[in-house]
A and B are shown apart, each in its own frame.
Chain A
Amino acid sequence: MNFHPEKLPQERLAALAEDAKRRLAAKRRADLPRIIIGMATCGLAAGASETRAAFEQALAEQNLEALIIPVGCLGHCYAEPLVVIENPGFPPIAYHSVTPGKAKALVKSFLAEGDPLFEYVLAALEENDLLPSIADFPRFYLEQRVVMEKCGSIDPADLKEYLSRGGYAGLVRVLGLPPGEIVGVLSESGLRGRGGAGFPTGAKWELARKVEGSKKTVICNADEGDPGAYMDRTLLESNPHQLLEGLAICAYSVGAADAVVYVRAEYPLAVKTISRAIAQAEQANLLGKGILGANFDLEVKVFQGSGAFVCGEETALIESLEGKRGMPRFRPPYPVEHGLWGRPTVINNVKTLSTVPAIIEKGAQWFRTIGTPNSPGTAIFSVVGNVTRPGLVEIPMGTTLRTLIFEICGGIPRQKQFKAVQIGGPSGGCLPESLLDTPVDFDSLTRAGAMMGSGGLVVMDEESCMVNVARYFLDFTQNESCGKCTFCRIGTRHLLNILDRITKGEGREGDLELLETLGRDIKEGALCGLGKTAPNPILTSLKYFRSEYEAHIREKRCPSMMCRALTAYYIDPDKCARGCEACVGCCPVDAIFTAKGRKKAIDQGLCVKCGECVVSCPPEYDAVKRVSPAHLAPVVERPK
Chain B
Amino acid sequence: MVRLTVDEKEIEAEEGQNLLQVCLENGITVPHLCFLEGMENSPASCRLCFVEIEGMDCPVPSCQTVVHDGMVVNTQSPAVRHLQRSALQLLLSAHRVDCSDCPANKRCALQQLAKLLGIPLKVKHLESLAGEVDTRMGHPLLAYDAGRCVLCGRCLYACAKHQEHPLLTFVRRGFSTRVDFKGKTDPAELPCLACLACVEICPVSALGFAGKTLGAA
Contact = CB atoms under 8 A, between A and B. Distances in A.
B93 A490 contact: yes
A466 to B, nearest CB: 23
Contacts of B87: 486-487, 521, 525
B44 A527 contact: yes
Contact of B47 (A485, A492, A494, A518): A485
Given A484-B43, A486-B91, A524 B59 contact: yes
Given A494-B90, A521-B86, A526-B47, A489 B174 contact: yes
Interface string B145-187: 0000001000000000000000001101111110000000000
A521 B48 CA distance: 12
A526 B82 CA distance: 14
B99 interface: no
A333 to B, nearest CB: 10
Contacts of A489: 151, 174-175, 177
Nearest to B87: A486
Nearest to B175: A493
A619 to B, nearest CB: 45
Contacts of A310: 173
A514 B90 CA distance: 13
B169 A325 contact: yes
A494 B93 contact: yes
Contacts of A527: 44-45, 47
A486 B170 contact: no
Contact of B64 (A330, A524, A526): A330
A482 B125 CA distance: 25
B127 A494 contact: yes
Nearest to B50: A525
Contacts of B125: 510, 514
A515 to B, nearest CB: 11
Interface in A270-313: 308, 310
A526 B47 CA distance: 7
B126 A483 contact: no
A490 B83 CA distance: 14
A165 B86 CA distance: 58
A308 B44 CA distance: 21
B150 to A, nearest CB: 8
A481 B91 contact: no
A310 B170 CA distance: 16
Interface in A28-82: none
Contacts of A238: none
A426 interface: no
B28 interface: no
Interface in A500-534: 510, 514, 518, 521, 524-527
A480 interface: yes
A486 B173 contact: no
Contacts of B58: 524
A479 interface: yes
Given A490-B94, A494-B127, A514-B125, A525 B172 contact: no
A310 to B, nearest CB: 8
Interface in A100-140: none
Contacts of A492: 174-175
A231 to B, nearest CB: 26
B86 A485 contact: no
Contacts of A486: 45-48, 87, 90-91
A559 interface: no
B61 interface: yes
A327 B47 CA distance: 15
A390 interface: no
B133 interface: no
Contacts of B50: 525
A497 interface: yes
B39 interface: no
A493 B129 contact: yes
Nearest to A485: B45
B129 A483 contact: no
B188 to A, nearest CB: 29
A478 B176 CA distance: 10
Contact of A483 (B48, B61, B176): B176
Nearest to A491: B90
Contacts of B47: 485-487, 525-527
A493 B127 contact: no
Contacts of A490: 90-91, 93-94, 129, 175
A325 B172 CA distance: 10
Interface string B21-45: 0000000000000000000001111
Contact of A325 (B45, B82, B170): B170
B126 A482 contact: no
A330 B61 contact: yes
A491 B42 CA distance: 21
A510 B87 CA distance: 20
Given A330-B64, A486-B90, A486-B91, A524 B83 contact: yes
B90 A483 contact: no
Residue with the highest number of chain B CB atoms closer than 10 Å, among A479, A481, A510, A521: A521
Nearest to A488: B174
Contacts of B173: 308, 310, 479-483
A310 B83 CA distance: 23
B148 to A, nearest CB: 14
Contacts of B91: 486, 490
Contacts of B46: 485-486
Interface in A312-337: 325, 327, 330
Contacts of A487: 47, 86-87, 90
B126 A494 contact: yes
B127 A497 contact: yes
B138 to A, nearest CB: 17
A483 B83 contact: no
B174 A480 contact: yes
Nearest to A324: B169
A325 B169 CA distance: 9
A562 B43 CA distance: 42
Contacts of A514: 125
Nearest to B174: A481
Contacts of A497: 127, 129
A491 B126 CA distance: 10
Nearest to B84: A525
Chain A CB count within 10 A is highest, among B46, B64, B86, B173, for B173
15 contacts: A480-B173, A480-B174, A483-B151, A485-B44, A486-B48, A486-B87, A486-B90, A487-B90, A489-B151, A490-B90, A490-B91, A494-B127, A521-B87, A525-B86, A525-B87
Q: Which 3 A-B pairs have the closest CB atoms?
A: A483-B177, A490-B90, A330-B44
Given A482-B173, A521-B83, 20 more contacts: A330-B44, A479-B173, A482-B174, A483-B151, A483-B170, A483-B172, A483-B176, A483-B177, A485-B44, A486-B91, A487-B86, A489-B175, A489-B177, A490-B93, A492-B174, A492-B175, A493-B129, A494-B90, A524-B58, A526-B47
Interface of A: 308, 310, 325, 327, 330, 478-487, 489-494, 497, 510, 514, 518, 521, 524-527
